[in-house]
A and B are shown apart, each in its own frame.
Chain A
Amino acid sequence: MKRFQQILLAAITIAFISFGCSKDTPIDEDGLLITERQECFVSNFELLGADFITVRAAIPVIDTTAQTIDVTVLFGTDLKNVYPQFTLATDCKLEPKVTGRTDFSDLANPKKYTVVSGNRKIRKEYTVKIKFQ
């Protein structure tokens, strides 16, 4: 009886080990899921002012080939205190991260952001070019 119980316990343990572990789902250093997607692009760009109202004067022009984002902002926009918002392809992430108010006032040296694909193998650097209305 005792031997039967030991065998049964061992069988249950083996079953848990075999079926308990789920399929491998790696995550990156940010805790985000690494998928198989290769798409890597910016689909939309928004720029909000200090009052969280858009300062864009028109729809941004996103050139996926040249990897540029051309944004026209309203007259009088304070570019030292704006909040950029990127819309990326599925599973992509952005580097560096946007953490809050950002200074875009140096128009001679436009800011660059890198989009990283879902499989973390493709990286594309986008340049955000701003001009006033």
Chain B
Amino acid sequence: MLANGSNFGRDSEVNKFMLMALGAGSMIAMAAPAAAQTVTGTINITGSVANKCSVLPGSGSTFGGTVALGELAQADGTMATDLATRFNAAANAAQLNFRVVCNTANPTVAVDATPLTTAGSPPTGYASRIDYAAHVAVALTPTGTDTFSNDSRNAPSAATATSARIANNGNNNISVTADTFGTAALTDLLTAGSYTGNISIVIAPGA
């Protein structure tokens, strides 16, 4: 109790409380940071990958090789009987194995084998054409193989879908073989000349 009658002691306690409250309020006001409001923007990116098949390595569109069978006739002039063995020999592996990848689920494969022929029309008892059957084995993922064949005696095979995606494991996945070589008649004598034929393989993305 002061001389002027004010209750200073009690008021002092009240003042301390109010001082602390106001002081704290002042500190809050002074320390208020920039509001941590977050705002958002949205960006959309779209793109497409066209259905395609590519020859690897690289991204070429053609592949191929050449197999030289050598002398096609036996000593008696008829066709040699080991042409399939020669064609499929390990020495020709680099010419007959390829790596192709398609980014579709069921690519198609068409095969067209054309006979080995030489120029001119052979007389009776002679042959200037050797037919054969070509086979294209396609490795699939995760496992398995589909084989597509065409005999040069027949029309080209129609494009046919694989049963699964073509394997893409870093290894060759297309393997070409041939067999059933023959002339129209076993006794035909091959006419002299240079014979050429080819196996055309078309691998397409499909539907």
B is a partner of A: no
